[in-house]
Amino acid sequence: MSTALLAAGVFVAYLVAYHTYGRWLARKIFGLHGEADVPSKTFRDDVDYVPTKKAVIFGHHFTSIAGTGPIVGPAIAVFWGWLPALLWVVFGSIFIGAVHDFGALIISMRNQGRTVGDVAGRLITPRTRFLFLGILALALTVVLAVFGLVIAIIMATYPESVLSIWIELPVAILVGWWVYRRGGNLLIPSLMILALMYGTIWVGVYYLPIDLSAILGIPLVGEQFWNAVVVWTLILLAYSFFASVLPVWLLLQPRDFTNSHKLVAALLLLVAGLFVASLSGQADLFSSAPAIARDIPVDAPPIWPFLFITISCGAVSGFHCLVSSGTSSKQVASETDAQYVGYGAMLLEGALATVVILACCAGVGMGKFERVATPEGGQTYVAMKNAVGEPLVGRMAWQTNYDTQKGWAASNKLKPMVGAFVEGGANFLAALGIPFEFAVGIIAVLVASFASTTMDTATRLQRYVLQEFARSMKLEPLTNKYAATALAVGAGGSLALFVGQQPGTGGMILWPLFGATNQLLAGLAFMVTVFYLWRRSKPVLFALLPMLVMLLMPAWAMLWNLFAPERGWISQGNYLLTGFGLGILALQLWMMWEGFSAWPKAKGVLEKPFAGSPRQPISQTEEVPSVAAANP
């Protein structure tokens, strides 16, 4: 009962926040206007700039920002206890994350749909544009590496999910062609695809699991390079290349729209299962996991500041500013849609992270299952038991995933962390009467679908960033979208495959780098929003305080990762991550100095507007206007 009441209270808080704080931001701070010019119409090219219905762009935006961040981050962070994780998710998403996403979306829409890095050069100083683009390039490389590994691990570990994930792609292309070339309706085909997707999950679970390890005769993961995780990673990188160069209407929009239905349906099932399991007494958060873990092992990083970078996407994520200003701002058809897309989608992501926390604690506590082979050659799941033959439930079940006695390094592996959500979520669905093995398939597809939408969106965004760099530096070959995309995929793939003691095992090594980089990026995006409002003499305190939090916490965590005795990257001789970390910190400090220097003369001074087309290079000699020259 208590678990259901807690979940209900969180969901009500999100609804109230949207209709109060979100409305205040939309009306009083940003002054949204339905008749204002928007980039999707002004620069329409039907490739990147495409005016899109609110429901469709919401589906793209939500599935792109969510990814595996609100799943993996909370699944790791409950190691410290579920209460700190839940508080950070709820208050972070309402007052920091949603404000961050909303601000980046509006500012980009009012600047030709250009990325937040481009806009920083106008709002702060011209140099900040290059600094920001450098940070974006490094951050997106890490995003591609981490999310590629997560999807590869899901596909290798849960072969029943593979069929549904891949069959969606050709179907989405057909839907895109039907809607944009034949003028057909999108809603009905997408609902038909939803039914098809759940049908293919059933087929994948009971009849056609695609186990690459068995098909190719290679291990799931191991010391040799050719293991299932590595092969899936390479396949996913190749897919991301092609997906990111296609017009958005052909794959991105229809896939994300139909994916959003599938993901929302799974979320509704999870919430329904959570309430049924809680009200029936099967799921008890308070007896399954500690609210605040007391016996934290000495090798665990400190909860301050690591809670704030471990959980990123569920509370606030710098990657979201790239989606807001990289793809969504080029598709929103009216300014008044921006609250629904920018603020609302982040609150839904917070709700997802809340469900993940409850699944990894109360859900896992309902019972542990293990996969076993059947005499017919198939697979099924059987309940795990303790030494005296009793089913593993409650705190004993939770400790199989979060055994603090083993220590942080032994317990925190990407596979069991993702597995905690898959198994806990499947327990919630099983409370609705869904067979456990089918429930596992549904949740595994949920995780992989979220991650795949983010992965190819990140590839497209990295292509934009590299092309902007190339145009500014007059590197003509790299302005070609195929060359820029190949560089993006190659850099992300190299980081994914060659970090870690074994090929394809570097996910947990990369996660702290991803978290710190991601959150530093959020702080810098807040800086852009603060300068935008400051130049217009608007209130800034509501954005300034989150900016300071998101600059301090990740910088603190990055310094710990770099210099901690025995456990830091420098002490361990990990020079690749050391180089990434030092480079990102240096760029951040430089950009903060640029902002500090520009602050006194910026109030009430409007920035110089962009001229011409978004595809024209920005002159390196253009300066932000002085106080005397600018119009107030």
What is the fold, at CATH topology level, of the domain defined by 2-601? Sodium/glucose cotransporter (1.20.1730)
Phi, psi of 332 (to 5 degrees): -65, 130
pLDDT in tens, 568-583: 889 988 888 899 889 8
Torsion-angle region of 266 (φ positive above 0: left; ψ -120 to 50: alpha; else: beta): alpha
Residue 296, Ramachandran bin (φ over 0: left; ψ between -120 and 50: alpha; else beta): beta
Predicted pLDDT at 352: 94
Highest mean pLDDT among 156-165, 300-309, 527-536: 527-536
| Mean pLDDT, rounded, for 372-393 | 79
Q: Would you state the structure tokens that stand for residue 398, as one six-digit string?
A: 């939770």
Name the band, by pLDDT with cuts 50, 70 and 90, for residue 198: confident
Task: Decide: 317 and 311 in contact? Cβ < 8 Å.
Answer: no
Q: Which residue has the higher pLDDT, 194 or 397?
A: 397
Residue 176 banded pLDDT, cuts 50, 70, 90: confident
* pLDDT tier at 223, thresholds 50, 70, 90: low
- pLDDT tier at 625 (50, 70, 90 boundaries)? very low
Neighbours of 74 (CB within 10 A): 32
* Mean pLDDT, the chain, whole residue set: 87
Distance CA(341)–CA(343), nearest Å, equals 6
CB 402 within 8 A of CB 289: yes
pLDDT band at residue 1 using 50, 70 and 90 as cut-offs? low
pTM of the predicted protein model = 0.89
**What percentage of the chain exceeds 90 in pLDDT?**
47
Could you report the per-residue pLDDT of 447-491, keeping only the tens digit for each? 888 777 778 878 988 988 888 888 878 888 888 989 999 999 999
Cβ contact 42:276 at 8 Å: no
The average pLDDT across 205-217 equals 88
Q: What mean pLDDT is predicted for residues 291-318?
A: 88
- Which stretches within 499-574 are classed as H helix? 507-534, 541-563
Which is higher by pLDDT, 46 or 552? 552
95-109, 327-341, 492-506: which has the minimum mean pLDDT?
492-506
E strand or H helix at 40 = helix 39-42
- pLDDT at residue 411 is higher than 70: no
CA end-to-end span of the chain: 57
Does residue 118 have a pLDDT over 60?
Answer: yes
User: Do residues 343 and 25 touch, judged by C-beta distance below 8 A?
Assistant: yes
pLDDT of residue 624: 44
Domain ranges of the chain: 2-601
Average pLDDT value for residue range 486-500: 86
DSSP code of residue 339 = I
- pLDDT, position 149: 84
Alpha helices in 110-186 (DSSP H): 116-123, 126-157, 162-182
Helices (H), 564-608: 575-598
